[in-house]
């Protein structure tokens, strides 16, 4: 059963692209994408556009027996066409269904 958060009509184009890529790659049980960009406005290196900083919570069976670094690499690969031009910062919370906190 896919328990991904439904796509929000207020999601921007980058968030929608991320959701599409992550759902296709991981068939997640949980997928929450938070746009944290407004928290970084005015910081050095912050691109002056919306949708650049994200926190992704992803729970998927695909992460079973994978290390934290391996899981992060898997997500970066799925989003590679958006990094670094569209996504400036990405905080990842990755887990398997049995280990979900």
Choice between 11 and 69, residue whose per-residue pLDDT is larger: 69
Per-residue CA distances from 35 to 26, 60, 98 (Å): 20, 21, 26
Residue 43 pLDDT: 55
Q: What CATH number is associated with residue 87?
A: 3.30.300.90
The confidence band for 42, taking pLDDT boundaries of 50, 70 and 90, is low
Q: How many domains does the chain have?
A: 1
**What backbone torsions phi and psi does residue 49 show, to the nearest 5 degrees?**
-150, 160
Query: Structural domain of residue 33, as residue ranges?
Result: 13-38+52-95
Asked whether residue 46 is assigned to any structural domain, the reply reads no
Asked whether residue 43 is assigned to any structural domain, the reply reads no
Choice between 8 and 20, residue whose per-residue pLDDT is larger: 20
């Amino acid at each position: 059963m896919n328990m991904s958060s439904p796509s929000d009509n207020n999601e921007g184009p980058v968030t929608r692209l991320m959701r599409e890529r992550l759902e296709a790659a991981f068939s997640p049980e949980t997928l929450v994408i938070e746009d944290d960009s407004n928290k970084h406005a005015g910081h050095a290196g912050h691109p002056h556009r919306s949708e650049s900083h994200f926190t992704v919570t992803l729970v998927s069976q695909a992460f079973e027996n994978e290390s934290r670094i391996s899981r992060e690499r898997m997500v970066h690969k799925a989003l590679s066409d958006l990094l670094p031009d569209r996504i400036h910062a990405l905080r990842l919370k990755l887990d398997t269904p049995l280990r979900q906190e």
